[in-house]
A and B are shown apart, each in its own frame.
Chain A
Amino acid sequence: MIVFDRVSKIYPDSSVALNEVSLSIEPNEFISIVGPSGAGKTTLLKLFLAEEKPTDGAVYYESANIHTLNRKEIDAFRRRVGMVFQDFRLLLNKTVYENIAFTMEAAGRTDEEVESDVPHVLELVDLTPKIWNFPRELSGGEQQRVAIARALVNEPDIIIADEPTGNLDPANTYDIVQILKKINNLGTTVILATHNKGIIDLLQRRVVAMERGRVVRDDRAGKYFV
């Protein structure tokens, strides 16, 4: 279970990104965080990944305060979280295979596991023919599917997707959402930050709406109407 306990984040330029946000996310939930740009969605995710420290309050994962973990514990925690970003963030000088293999190797998996799991996860996102291509040789939709495969391959407890469809056309957006739903059905918690109204309406799952650093609405099976 993930708990944000009265979390505030004020950046050095005094801009308030989060203002006493409290939120809890159950295991296996599919939660969408919506809101206009600057609402604090990305900051919320960054705090969860220990990329940023909160100015006040605490973030817990399975009762451990994420911001009191040491370097090794942070690395181990991040290996339990799969991440998908709007700009894909693939390793550009590595092939599709190597991008996914890197995540597995970083988690200390054996060569045999890497050799068997990478083709398997690429099959799952329908990218087997592109296994030896470099990211620059792929379309946006394909790159995002590589990113999802990378996020999935270590069988994480949680998948975090920050505007994963922001750079994609409607057809690719639909595909990505279907993949995320499938992942969630297999038992993984999914946290999706987006401002794409279509996606939310399509999902019919819990929606947390944010505005100017605060949670303004929390609907169990919500629609997008910020």
Chain B
Amino acid sequence: MTRKQIFWTKLKRILRTGFFNFWRDSTVTLASVLMMMVTLLVIGLISFSSAILDTTLTELKNKIDINVTFITSANEKDILDIKHTIESLPEVLLVTYVSRDEALALFKARHSGDQSILSALDELGENPLGAVLNIRARDPSQYASVAEFLESGDALSSGGLTIIDRINYFQNKAAIDKLARIIASADRLGFALAFFFAIISVLIAFNTIRLTIYLARDEISVMRLVGASTTYIRGPFVVVGIIYGVVAGLLTLFLLLPLTYWLGSTTESFFIGFNIFSYYLRHFLEIAFIVMVSGVFIGALSSALAIRKYLKI
């Protein structure tokens, strides 16, 4: 036989033995695949949790803004000049102008059920509300500098008199700061937890495979004594490990369908519009890749590491 033929014959035999072992040791196979599924399910859910966190954080960030309310006598042109100045700041993402009339309409719409407020408004006879500039920063931590700019800037006054009535940032500052801190620590905590669970579940899978190889230790010693080479003994075990990974991976991906479907509406109402089921369908290839690669990697590596001890004869 040529070297090439020897290689292919050996590979064929290793694969065949691996498949047979997987098929024949049904109890061991079932236990290993189930344990591996738990691991892959954890890994799959971790990839969801980071998406949930990301979406929720983005949604929360979008909800933070600064409202600058102008005095009622402020001139619309001055306000639009200010809008233009603020828009030129690098930290600012978007500035929306709400005119006095629009502000009144919004106010009325908001209190449409409250007759006493509406009648009080009518009695006033004139529009008591000032125009508003709604400012959105690129990042929650940048609101402070935007607010400082608004406080100090001469550009914000017309003829030496300030036309700004109030900036709600300073009332909201505490809440905004707290939210920014929560967002940052949730990010860190989420990562740490995910890492912790991933490690634990990988260890569980590793130990299960180690047990299956422990059960085969006598056979391994016989193989050694009939002069089988290390590759020839280890090969089929690694193949079995890979098959565990593939089968457990496919089952996990399948199981995630009903699981995420069932959790879908709950997550949607709890995590501000994040539907785990539609996320799963949209990112199926990505998640399938992570789960399958993890399965194959954990299976093959666990087998290869666990068998070392018994090959020393």
Please state if B222 and A75 are interface contacts (CB–CB under 8 Å).
no
Instruction: Say yes or no for A64: interface residue by CB 8 A criterion.
Output: no
| Known A75-B228, A76-B227, A107-B227: A92·B313 in contact at CB below 8 Å | no
Instruction: Say yes or no for A60: interface residue by CB 8 A criterion.
Output: no
Please state if B229 and A75 are interface contacts (CB–CB under 8 Å).
yes
CB distance from A89 to the nearest CB of B (A): 5
Please state if A75 and B21 are interface contacts (CB–CB under 8 Å).
no
CB distance from A59 to the nearest CB of B (A): 16
Interface residue from A76, A93, A150 paired with B24 (Cβ < 8 Å): A93
Please state if B222 and A106 are interface contacts (CB–CB under 8 Å).
no
CB distance from B2 to the nearest CB of A (A): 12
Please state if B223 and A89 are interface contacts (CB–CB under 8 Å).
no
| Known A92-B219, A93-B24, A110-B1: A79·B226 in contact at CB below 8 Å | yes
CB distance from B120 to the nearest CB of A (A): 87
**Would you list which residues of chain A between 67 and 125 have a CB under 8 Å from chain B?**
71-72, 74-79, 81, 83, 89-94, 98, 102-103, 105-108, 110-111
| Known A78-B227, A108-B6, A110-B1: A89·B232 in contact at CB below 8 Å | no
List residues of chain A with CB within 8 A of the CB of B221: 89
Closest to B311 in A: A71
Interface residue from B13, B20, B226 paired with A83 (Cβ < 8 Å): B226
Q: Count the A residues whose beta carbon is within 8 Å of the partner chain — how many?
A: 28
State in angstroms the CA–CA spacing of A77 and B229 once bound together: 12
List residues of chain A with CB within 8 A of the CB of B25: 93
List residues of chain A with CB within 8 A of the CB of B24: 93
CB distance from B305 to the nearest CB of A (A): 18
State in angstroms the CA–CA spacing of A51 and B24 once bound together: 29
Dominant secondary structure of chain B at its interface with chain A = helix
**Would you list which residues of chain A between 108 and 154 have a CB under 8 Å from chain B?**
108, 110-111, 150
Instruction: Say yes or no for B230: interface residue by CB 8 A criterion.
Output: yes
Instruction: Say yes or no for B161: interface residue by CB 8 A criterion.
Output: no
List residues of chain A with CB within 8 A of the CB of B58: none
Instruction: Say yes or no for A49: interface residue by CB 8 A criterion.
Output: yes
Please state if A106 and B229 are interface contacts (CB–CB under 8 Å).
yes
CB distance from A134 to the nearest CB of B (A): 9
CB distance from B1 to the nearest CB of A (A): 6
List residues of chain B with CB within 8 A of the CB of A89: 218, 221-222, 225
Please state if A72 and B229 are interface contacts (CB–CB under 8 Å).
yes
Please state if B225 and A83 are interface contacts (CB–CB under 8 Å).
yes
| Known A106-B232, A110-B9: A91·B225 in contact at CB below 8 Å | no
List residues of chain A with CB within 8 A of the CB of B313: 51
CB distance from B71 to the nearest CB of A (A): 88
List residues of chain B with CB within 8 A of the CB of A76: 227
Please state if A78 and B9 are interface contacts (CB–CB under 8 Å).
no
List residues of chain A with CB within 8 A of the CB of B219: 91-93
State in angstroms the CA–CA spacing of A83 and B226 once bound together: 8
Q: Which of B1, B219, B223, B225 has the most CB of A within 10 A?
A: B225
Closest to A151 in B: B226
Please state if B218 and A75 are interface contacts (CB–CB under 8 Å).
no
State in angstroms the CA–CA spacing of A106 and B10 once bound together: 9
List residues of chain A with CB within 8 A of the CB of B226: 78-79, 83, 102-103, 106, 150
Contact mask for chain B residues 219-258; partner A; CB cutoff 8 A; 1 contact, 0 none = 1011111111110100000000000000000000000000
Q: Which of A72, A75, A111 has the most CB of B within 10 A?
A: A75
State in angstroms the CA–CA spacing of A49 and B13 once bound together: 26
List residues of chain B with CB within 8 A of the CB of A108: 6
B binding-site residues for A, Cβ under 8 Å: 1, 6, 9, 13, 20-21, 24-25, 218-219, 221-230, 232, 313
Q: 11 new A-B pairs (CB below 8 Å) besides A75-B227, A89-B222, A108-B6?
A: A76-B227, A78-B226, A83-B225, A90-B222, A93-B20, A93-B24, A105-B232, A106-B223, A106-B228, A107-B227, A110-B1
Give 21 pairs: A residue, B residue, CB < 8 Å, sorted on A. Answer: A49-B225, A51-B313, A71-B230, A72-B229, A75-B228, A77-B227, A78-B225, A79-B226, A89-B221, A89-B222, A91-B219, A93-B21, A93-B24, A93-B219, A94-B20, A98-B20, A103-B226, A105-B13, A105-B232, A106-B227, A106-B232
